[in-house]
Amino acid sequence: MAVCTALLLSFHRSVPNRVGGLGSLLESFLPWLGVVVVVLLVLALVRRSALALVALLLPVAAWTYLFGGLLLPAPEPGADDLVVVQHNVSDENTDPEGTARALVRAGPDLVALEELVPPALEVYAKTLAPDYPYRTVRGTVGLWSKYPLSGSRPLDIKPRGIEEEWERGLRTVAHTPRGEVAVYVAHLPSVRVGAGGLASSRRDESAGLLGDALDAEELRRVVLLGDLNGTVDDRALRPLTDSLNVAGRGLAFSFPAGLPLARIDQVMARAGTVGALRTLPATGSDHLPVVAQVSWH
């Protein structure tokens, strides 16, 4: 079991994805293989098995290599860091005003929100306006900023087969003290886990479209904020993680809010480092907000 766990951690990309999305399903919960290691450690101690303890060094080393850095203390934020909040506020949120005030208390420079629907949208706009005078909203996603915004436009990340109105991505430019930053806000399609495995084809297609848009971005500095319905270990997000930096500190599991099992709310950057990522206390959403600091190279 120890050897198998070590192999899954080390070679998770080799697990096939053709049948039931098994590879993506494993990668969505990959950090939780650490629980298997703890259980095996207890069994080894009960059995007083030196061989089992030695074998456990394999998965411990693999887990530490993959995730150990996320547990290290966060670096001190720099004066020029861009602080951002990402939150899927939920279209069923019954306290949009309280949610907005909780995000303001974190003191970010940018606030990205998904699942914005009327009349809650008007409440968010009114509550955030005093601290964030600049905003852009496209469909159900929006960005509030302390800095002026320009060049705002929708992103075409709609997968095939969706006939109804569907606008869940935007691109804008934030004019920060350190220069222009292209900011992308996206909400990728949901995935479903059932008897047939992981159903994620629409999410995967939308991630590819978003990756194409980011590759075509001419500005050097880029920040992506969004509910991507996938973890950074999931191979389906490689169109994004292959070209953008992800958080170097913090596990920050964000979903579901009642018992967070995975971080599907992401902050990524190009020409910058996402130095630390943490969750904020629960709001009226089924997601936890995440806050991160981005340091520019």
Q: Quick check: 274 and 294 in contact, CB under 8 A?
A: yes
Q: Are residues 182 and 223 in the same domain?
A: yes
**pLDDT digit string, tens, across residues 134-186:** 999 999 999 999 999 999 999 999 999 998 899 999 999 999 999 999 999 99
Residue 76 within any structural domain of the chain:
no
Q: Are residues 189 and 125 in the same domain?
A: yes
Residue 288 within any structural domain of the chain:
yes
**What integer is the mean pLDDT of 58-65?**
96
Residue 137 within any structural domain of the chain:
yes
Is residue 196 predicted with pLDDT exceeding 90? no
Residue 77 within any structural domain of the chain:
no
Residue 89 within any structural domain of the chain:
yes
Please list, in sequence order, all residues whose beta carbon lies within 8 angstroms of the beta carbon of residue 79, skipping any fewer than 6 positions away: none
**pLDDT digit string, tens, across residues 257-292:** 999 999 999 999 999 999 889 999 999 999 999 999
**Measured distance CA(172)–CA(2) in Å, rounded:** 48
Q: Are residues 165 and 28 in the same domain?
A: no
pTM above 0.85, yes or no: yes
Q: Are residues 94 and 117 in the same domain?
A: yes
Q: What is the structure's pLDDT at 76?
A: 74
- Of 71, 95, 127, which marks where a domain is finished? 71
Task: Indicate left, alpha or beta for 151 from its phi (over 0: left) and psi (-120 to 50: alpha).
Answer: left
Q: Are residues 165 and 248 in the same domain?
A: yes
**What integer is the mean pLDDT of 63-83?**
87
Centroid of chain to Cα 203: 14
Q: What is the structure's pLDDT at 77?
A: 72
Q: Are residues 63 and 105 in the same domain?
A: no
Quickly count: other Cβ atoms within 10 Å of residue 218's Cβ: 6
Q: Are residues 18 and 129 in the same domain?
A: no
How many residues make up the chain in this entry?
Answer: 297
Q: Are residues 37 and 101 in the same domain?
A: no
Q: Verify cis geometry, omega within 30 degrees of 0, for the bond prior to 256.
A: yes
The pLDDT-based confidence of 93 (bands split at 50, 70, 90) is very high
Please list, in sequence order, all residues whose beta carbon lies within 8 angstroms of the beta carbon of residue 216, skipping any fewer than 6 positions away: none
Question: Taking Cα atoms as reference points, which of 136, 124, 188 lies closest to residue 162?
Answer: 188
**pLDDT digit string, tens, across residues 198-238:** 889 999 999 999 999 999 999 999 999 999 999 999 999 99
Residue 41 within any structural domain of the chain:
yes
Q: Are residues 144 and 202 in the same domain?
A: yes
Write the CATH number for 292: 3.60.10.10
Q: Which residues on adjacent β-strands are paired with residue 63?
A: none
**What integer is the mean pLDDT of 76-98?**
92
The pLDDT-based confidence of 79 (bands split at 50, 70, 90) is confident
Residue 264 within any structural domain of the chain:
yes
Q: Verify cis geometry, omega within 30 degrees of 0, for the bond prior to 119.
A: yes
Sign of CA dihedral 41, 234, 109, 118: negative
Residue 10 within any structural domain of the chain:
yes
The pLDDT-based confidence of 81 (bands split at 50, 70, 90) is very high
**Measured distance CA(171)–CA(186) in Å, rounded:** 9
Q: What is the structure's pLDDT at 62?
A: 97
**What integer is the mean pLDDT of 107-130?**
97
Quickly count: other Cβ atoms within 10 Å of residue 150's Cβ: 11
**What integer is the mean pLDDT of 79-96?**
95
DSSP letter for 195, please: T
Q: What is the structure's pLDDT at 232?
A: 97
Mean pLDDT of the chain: 95
Is residue 80 predicted with pLDDT exceeding 90? no
Q: Are residues 136 and 232 in the same domain?
A: yes
Q: What is the structure's pLDDT at 202?
A: 95
**pLDDT digit string, tens, across residues 22-51:** 999 999 999 999 999 999 999 999 999 999
Q: What is the structure's pLDDT at 250?
A: 93
Is residue 78 predicted with pLDDT exceeding 80? no
How many structural domains is the chain composed of?
2
Q: Are residues 21 and 155 in the same domain?
A: no
The pLDDT-based confidence of 20 (bands split at 50, 70, 90) is confident
Q: What is the structure's pLDDT at 268?
A: 98
- Of 71, 93, 114, which marks where a domain is finished? 71
Q: Which two tokens stand for residue 29?
A: 């919960």
Range of the domain at 239: 82-296
- Of 49, 71, 93, which marks where a domain is finished? 71
Is residue 194 predicted with pLDDT exceeding 90? no
Q: Are residues 162 and 270 in the same domain?
A: yes
**Measured distance CA(297)–CA(80) in Å, rounded:** 11
